[in-house]
Amino acid sequence: MAHQRTNRTEKLDLRLTKSAKQTLQAAATAAHKSVSEFVLETALSEAEERLADRRIFTLDAKRWDAFIAALDAPPRRHPRLKRLFREPSVFDAKP
């Protein structure tokens, strides 16, 4: 797999224990990578996995139809919410 070279202009520093550094060095060596390459690739992979469900989700046809129906439905009235918006906010300027 060909790796595309990009300009790396940002830096990330971190403090870690001697044991943690040794573990990362051993894992990087086992993967035939530098520690920087190993840490960056591993951290990005984990970040993408954690963010995936916030960017992409899949639904079967029945759930998709229900999702679209919910988006298209008129908003429900909430008397307490309506009252809340009528009251002055803590961010409103005081006279």
Q: What is the pTM of this model?
A: 0.53
Distances from the Cα of 13 to the Cαs of 8, 17, 21, 92, in angstroms?
14, 14, 13, 41
Instruction: List pLDDT tens digits, range 23-36.
Output: 999 999 999 999 99
Composition of the chain by helix, strand, coil, percent to 5: 55, 0, 45
CA–CA separation, 33 vs 94, rounded Å? 60
Cβ atoms of 67 and 58 closer than 8 Å: no
Instruction: List pLDDT tens digits, range 22-70.
Output: 999 999 999 999 999 999 999 999 999 889 878 777 899 999 999 999 9
How many C-alpha atoms does 54 have within 13 Å on its Cβ side? 5
